[in-house]
Amino acid sequence: MRLVWLICAVFFINTAVAQKTYVGVKAGGHASSAFIEHTIFNINLNASFLPGVNSGVFIKYLPKPGDTFLNSGIQLGVNYVQKGWKQTFLTDEPSYTARMNYLEIPLEGIGYFGGENKYFISAGLYAEILMSVDKDPEPAADNRGGADFYTYEEDRDREFGYGARLGGGIFRDLSIGTFQLEGFFTYSFSNFIDPGDLVDETPDLSNHWSVGVTLGYMISFSKN
């Protein structure tokens, strides 16, 4: 609860002193996968990349620039993000894909510099809520070539998660608005599979991660 109050305090303080506020939308593509392992048992599961899309709305607060080279700000938003993975097998068994659709709520700090072209880096945390899951039919147990198989199960696993987000890119103010290009990396600290007891061979490490790009459009409101 103290962390929630601290975030709210930072948010409102930064809003009060912001020289410029941007409100924007963004969309892009990314590649995602999952780290699925067990602390004790060896799991033979080849999880590869799965393409996905992301979109969202965000607010960026930039206080009055100081005399330093690097200025700072804060950004928060709401995103729709497709996450998941593809598991491949050494047999003729078709690849298995699991796509998990999340509502993601990030809060990030921003460091930026530059003149007309402003270059920025961002880092922060996010919370996520699972909206839906799309899964292929499970592979045949006798045709996996010795591979283990685990996937998200609605009656066992978790709908809520959290993680970290890193980004960087460029934005520029034009007469018709502000355009932004960003590259990003995300990693979930929480496990989407609920392993139960550690002596069970169900993976106790199951983390989403993704890397991608977004293109954003913003309108700005300057403080007089």
- CA dist., res. 213 & res. 29, Å (int): 6
Residue 35: beta bridge partners?
207
Letter for the amino acid at 119? Y
Length of the chain as a residue count = 224
Residue 213, C-beta contacts closer than 8 angstroms, at least 6 positions apart: 28, 29, 30, 181, 182, 183, 184
Mean pLDDT over residues 7-19, rounded? 50
Place of tokens 């700072």: 72
The band of 67, judged by pLDDT with boundaries at 50, 70 and 90, is low
| Residue spans of alpha helices (H) in the chain | 2-17
Residue among 179, 178, 182 at smallest CA distance from 165: 182
Query: pTM higher than 0.75, yes or no?
Result: yes
Quote the CA–CA distance of 99 and 84 in Å, as a whole number.
Answer: 4
> Which residues, in sequence order, are CB contacts of 117 under 8 Å at separation 6+?
170, 172
Flag whether pLDDT at 32 surpasses 70.
Answer: yes
Query: According to the model, what pLDDT value does residue 64 have?
Result: 76
Lookup result for tokens 């892009």: 28
Nearest one of 124, 139, 16, 121 to 79, comparing CA atoms: 124
What CATH code would you report for 2-222? Answer: 2.40.160.20
The token pair at 158 is 């978790």
**Around Cβ 3, how many Cβ atoms within 10 Å?**
8
What values do phi and psi take at 111, rounded to 5? -120, 130
What are 127-148's pLDDT values in tens digits?
999 999 999 999 999 999 999 9
